[in-house]
Structure 1
Amino acid sequence: MSEEETEAVVVGAGQAGVAMSEHLSAHGIPHVVLERHRIAERWRSERWDSLVANGPAWHDRFPGMEFPGVDPDAFASKEQVADYFVAYAEKMGAPVRTGVEVTSVRRREGRSGFEVRTSEGTIDARFVVAATGPFQRPVIPPVVPDGAVRVQMHSSQYRNARQLPEGAVLVVGAGSSGVQIADELRRSGRRVLLSVGPHDRPPREYRGRDFCWWLGVLGRWDAETPPQGAGHVTIAVSGARGGHTVDFRALAADGVELVGMTAAYEQGVLRFAPDLAANISMGDAKYLELLRAADAYVERNGLELPEEPQAHVLGPDPTCVTDPRLELDLAEAGVTSIVWATGFAADYGWLEVDTFDERGRPRHRRGVAEEPGVYFLGLPWLSRRGSSFIWGVWHDARYVADHMATRRGYLSYGSTDTATNSEK
Structure 2
Amino acid sequence: MPDETIDTLVIGGGQAGLTMSHRLKQRGITHLVLERRRIAERWRSERWDGLMFQFPNWSVRLPEFTFSHSEPDGFSPTSDIIEFIEGYAAFVAPPIRCGVEVRKLRRDEGAGFVAETGDGRIAARNVVVATGPYQRPLRPELLRDHENLFQVHASGYKNPAQLPGGAVLVIGAGASGAQIAEELLRAGRRVFLSVGRHNRLPRRYRGRDLFWWLAEMGIDQTPVEQRGPSRLLPVISGAYGGNTIDFRRFAAEGVTLLGRATAARDGVIEIAPDLVTSVSNGDAFYATFLGMVDDFIGTRGLACPDDAAARARLPDPPSLTAPLRTLDLRAEGIGAVIWATGYGLDLGWIDIPVLDARGEPRHRHGISEVPGLYFLGLQWLSRMKSSFLSGVGDDAAVLADHIVTRL
Give the structure-2-normalised TM-score. Answer: 0.97
2:312 aligned with 1:300, yes or no? no
Residue of structure 2 in register with 1:400 after alignment: 399
**Alpha-carbon displacement from aligned partner over 1:119-173 (angstroms, at most 9, x marks no partner):** 2222111011110011111111111123265211100000000000001111011
* Deviation for aligned residue 1:294: 1.1
| 1:174 Cα deviation after fit | 0.9
- Counterpart of 1:268 in structure 2 is 267
Partner of 1:7: 7
Aligned position for 1:309: 308
State the AA in 2 paired with 1:218. Answer: M
For structure 1, the 5+ residue unaligned runs are: 409-424
CA contact (8 A) 2:60 2:66 kept: no
Aligned pairs for 1:3-402 within 5 A: 3-109=3-109, 111-147=110-146, 149-225=148-224, 227-231=227-231, 233-402=232-401
> Distance in 2 between the 1:63 and 1:105 partners?
29
For 2:355 and 2:68, the matched residues in 1 are separated by 40
Cα deviations across residues 327-346 of structure 1 (Å, max 9, x unaligned)?
A: 11111111111100011111
Could you tell me how far apart the structure 2 residues matched to 1:27 and 1:228 are?
35
Name the amino acid aligned to 1:391.
Answer: S
Cα offset for 1:112? 4.3
Change (3 A) 1:221 1:327: same
Q: Is the 8 A contact 1:70 1:76 kept in 2?
A: no
Shift of 1:358: 2.4
Q: Which residue of 2 aligns with 1:412?
A: none
Displacement of 1:310: 2.2
Name structure 2 gaps, 5 residues minimum: none
Q: Which residue of 2 aligns with 1:417?
A: none
Contact 1:238 1:244 in 2 (8 A): yes
One-letter amino acid of the structure 2 residue matched with residue 306 of structure 1: P
Rounded to whole Å, the distance in 2 between the matches of 1:124 and 1:148 is: 45
Contact in 2 for aligned 1:150/1:336 (Cα 8 Å):
yes
In structure 2, give the amino acid aligned to 1:48. W
Describe the shift of the 1:135–1:169 C-alpha distance in structure 2 as closer, same or farther (beyond 3 A).
same
CA contact (8 A) 1:262 1:273 kept: yes
Q: Percent identity?
A: 48
RMSD: 1.4
Letter in 1 for 2:74: A
State the distance in 2 between where 1:230 and 1:387 align: 17
Return the offset for 1:280. Answer: 0.7
Shift of 1:197: 0.8
Aligned residue identity for 1:342: T
Q: Count matched residues.
A: 406
SS in 2 for 1:117: strand
Contact 2:57 2:69 in 1 (8 A): no
1:153 alignment partner, SS class: strand
CA contact (8 A) 1:58 1:66 kept: no
State the distance in 2 between where 1:346 and 1:94 align. 25
Provide Cα deviations, 1:65-123, integer angstroms capped at 9, x if missing partner. 222244222212111111111111111221121111111111113x2411112222221
Structure 1 residue 190: Cα displacement: 1.0
SS at match of 1:333: coil
- Structure 2 Cα separation of the partners of residues 271 and 229 of structure 1: 28
* Greater displacement, 248-257 / 63-72: 63-72
Q: Which amino acid aligns with 2:283?
A: D
**What is the identity, as a one-letter code, of the residue corresponding to 2:115?**
V
Using the alignment, how far apart are the partners of 1:117 and 1:148 within structure 2? 37
Q: Which amino acid is 1:12 matched to? A: G
Deviation per residue, 1:228-278 (Å, 9 max, x gap): 4412x1321000111111111111111011101111112221011111111
In the alignment, the residues of structure 2 paired with residue 357 and residue 122 of structure 1 have an alpha-carbon distance, to the nearest angstrom, of 26
- In structure 2, relative to structure 1, the CA distance for the partners of 1:172 and 1:4 (3 Å cut) is same
Q: Is the 8 A contact 1:268 1:331 kept in 2?
A: yes
Report runs of 4+ in structure 1 exceeding 3 Å deviation. 225-229
Give the whole-Å Cα distance in 2 for the aligned partners of 1:181 and 1:163: 13
The 8 Å contact of residues 149 and 335 in structure 1, kept in 2 or not, is answered as no
SS of aligned partner of 2:65: coil
Q: Distance in 2 between matches of 1:273 and 1:2?
A: 54
1:354-399: CA deviation from partner (whole Å, max 9, x where unpaired): 1011232211111111111111111111111112211122211111
Alignment partners' CA distance in 1, 2:96 and 2:57: 25
